[in-house]
A and B are shown apart, each in its own frame.
Chain A
Amino acid sequence: MSADDAAQAATGDSLLRVRDLVVRFDSGRKVVLAVNGVSLDLEAGGALGLVGESGSGKSVTSLAILRLLPRSTARIAGGEVWFGGRNLIQLSDREMRSLRGKEISLVPQDPMSGLNPVITIGEQVVETIRAHEGVRRGEARRRAADLLGTVGIPRPRDQLDRYPHQFSGGMRQRVLIAIALALRPTLLIADEPTTALDVTVQAQVLELLHELTAQHGTAILLISHDLGIMARMTRRITVMYAGYVVESAPTAEIFARPSHPYTAGLLRSIPRVADMGRQLTPIAGAPPEFDRLPRGCPFAPRCAWALDVCWQEMPALIPMEAAEVAGGSPSGDHLLACHNPVAADEVETGKPLRPGFRPAPPPEDELVAQETA
């Protein structure tokens, strides 16, 4: 097989295909695998959500795709990131720089730190355009004003010479979206783009992101912990826990039929009408420390479905059998990494409904490790 064929086989019909990505953080004293064999697929024009709690590795994954990890401490220790026929991990810094902003761009979480406070808004948009395209200043400025208009900034021409602090949070986030979309990228990575915003402003920004990506056929990789935003914005959801992908399925199916105990637990942790006046069913315990991951599945210590094998071995992420999925899933589109999936009738209760079932306790040596930790 030639290199091109290999690339073709690896990419398939995906715009972005991540395979077995491993990211290592080395702080001198300890080594941590923040991303531990993550695989993702995103088709052109698609919308993929990456869900997980803090420390799940979702932001690190997106930074690894963009090759923006801090060089001094982080290293991509394995895996492939295929984007448009190229493995991004093998690109030179220069090639990567010309790709960033033009083909893949990022909308960061904090609109203040995403903008340079001492440079005017106009200059920051112009800079992005001119870095990639040999256009004249005047032309770039004209396009910058158009872009600001597109993202709903009133009187865009007058705003070009203002500084970031003169804008509200929502307006700053609009500027960042304008910069991210300036060169019509094929992939937009949005890392918690509305977390810092108020509800009504969040609605404006989400609407804008949705409209613009749909208009230009831009694929979006959306990172968020908010399941409501995921329901509104994505077609597929990948759930991460402690650096692993534990479940991945079309959005409607994740909500209707979560099969990993962690996914089911997340959905039972958010208040809904049916729960009015009732207690929520939270997931016990707290996410693990990265330097103290248990040997098997990292979720085992919090899992009500744990079997003995879960303490020994991390299950592989594989397609669920159609029979296992309620209503059948002919496409094999539902990927799951679990030894003991949540059954359909257990989704509502949030605990196993099997007579006599008890979650497997940690093995002796694991207990010793926890005691001494």
Chain B
Amino acid sequence: MTSPPTPASEPALLEVRDLRVHFPITRGTVIRRTVGNVHAVDGLTLELATAETLGLVGESGCGKTTLGRAIVGLIPPTSGAILFRGQPLGAKRTSSDGAERSHLQMVFQDPTGSLDPRWRVGTSIAEPLRLNHIGTRTERTERVSELLELVGLSPGHASRYPHELSGGQRQRVGLARALALNPAVIVADEAVSALDVSIRAQIINLLQQLQDQLKLSYLFIAHDLAVVRHLSDRVAVMYLGQIVEQAGAADLYTDARHPYTVSLLSAVPVPDPVAEAKRERIVLPGDPPNPASPPPGCRFHTRCWLRTRLGNPERCAVEEPVAQHVSAGHTAACHYVHEVPGQTGLSPVGPAAEPAS
């Protein structure tokens, strides 16, 4: 459980600078030509500090999964840089930056799909060790037992097959495998979304406990805003490949400044019938636009309720907004940040003044 020392001069453990991931759309089978690009991640910048959790929320197709995969090196970025402790990581996983890459690990949504059904759980957990030629067979077996205990299972589980485990136990195995190489950063992509409510709470607690114990940093990607709020120190909201708002968790949920964040928060049903009845709701029209041809200007302007309220200013449709400073650590990319009314009461977990239940 030793992590390499961090030079004092470095502020961020992980830094993503102006990252772009474009997927070509091709036509034709013999003569393939590119007819367009899906801008899955389009000029995205973020930072992650040691032992910090950054929540990343957004709807399907906003690029949050692509971002997570690009960070761990599963997808090569089109442009931009990913820096780990100040060192840029190569575009592809190569042996040269293998050591750096091993500090970035991923936990997937579907624990059934991400474990080989024909492998014993112990074999799956030991795989990263084997691939990196770490330890002897006996040492690896010991390490597997240690990892299983770390995630709340018993060493005896190593000899089981995935189908013999429950969904929660399988997700614990996924975590154990991600922890095998002592990573500094874990990208958790919808890691608790497929689990039942009572089991989900167990895994959420486990994630917090491991963070305290191992000083892990999480990039926690999820669509469940209440869970993200619970786990995150900071939250970034993505829309069509870009971050539209970023703030401390408490700040974002009580004082959202981007119209998209406001509508996202207001759309989440609150598990409290009294608060739910009193809540004002902003229902967005339509679906998110196609990321292959994002709207010009502000990408959200086609669905924006604030723009309608302000009488459809032309600026939104032509000029791309830059991130504006709202308060310390709080930015929002909207031309009319200050027109957004105070949002207390729209939070999906209820206003702070009146705790749920």
Of the candidates A54, A251, A275, the one whose C-beta lies within 8 Å of that of B196 is: A54
Q: How far is the CA of A255 from the CA of B270 in the complex (A)?
A: 11
B267:A231 contact, CB within 8 angstroms: no
Tell me how many residues of A have a C-beta within 8 Å of chain B. 47
Residue A282 interfacial (CB < 8 Å): yes
B250, B264, B357 — most chain A CB neighbours (10 Å) = B357
B156-194 near A? 1/0 per residue, CB < 8 Å: 000000000010110000000000000000000000000
A262-275 near B? 1/0 per residue, CB < 8 Å: 00011111111111
A199:B201 contact, CB within 8 angstroms: no
Q: Which residues of B contact A283 (CB under 8 A)?
A: 198, 201
Please give the distance in Å from B305's CB to the nearest CB on chain A. 11
A286:B166 contact, CB within 8 angstroms: yes
Interface residues of B in 33-88 (CB under 8 A from A): 59-60
Interface extent on B, as a size class?
35 or more
B326-357 near A? 1/0 per residue, CB < 8 Å: 00000000000000000000011111100111
B201:A273 contact, CB within 8 angstroms: no
Question: Of the 9-residue stretches B142-150, B272-280, B291-299, B314-322, which lies at the interface with chain A?
Answer: B272-280
Residue A280 interfacial (CB < 8 Å): yes
Please give the distance in Å from A206's CB to the nearest CB on chain B. 7
Q: Which residues of A contact B357 (CB under 8 A)?
A: 255-256, 267, 272, 274, 347-348
B356:A199 contact, CB within 8 angstroms: no
A272:B355 contact, CB within 8 angstroms: yes
B227, B266, B355 — most chain A CB neighbours (10 Å) = B355
A163-178 near B? 1/0 per residue, CB < 8 Å: 0000010110000000
Please give the distance in Å from B221's CB to the nearest CB on chain A. 14
Of the candidates B59, B166, B197, the one whose C-beta lies within 8 Å of that of A199 is: B59
B196:A255 contact, CB within 8 angstroms: no
- Chain B's closest residue to A287 (CB) is B196
Residue B283 interfacial (CB < 8 Å): yes
Of the candidates B199, B201, B205, the one whose C-beta lies within 8 Å of that of A286 is: B199
Residue B263 interfacial (CB < 8 Å): yes
Q: How far is the CA of A265 from the CA of B196 in the complex (A)?
A: 12
B197:A225 contact, CB within 8 angstroms: yes
Q: Which residues of A contact B169 (CB under 8 A)?
A: 286
Which 5 A-B pairs have CB atoms at the shortest separation, nearest pair first? A228-B269, A282-B201, A271-B230, A203-B267, A269-B201
Question: Besides A171-B287, A228-B271, A283-B198, 10 other CB < 8 A contacts?
Answer: A199-B268, A200-B283, A201-B59, A228-B276, A232-B269, A270-B201, A272-B272, A273-B355, A274-B356, A287-B166
- Residues of chain A touching chain B, judged by Cβ–Cβ distance below 8 Å, are 53-54, 168, 170-171, 198-204, 206-207, 225-232, 251-252, 255-256, 265-276, 279-283, 286-287, 347-348
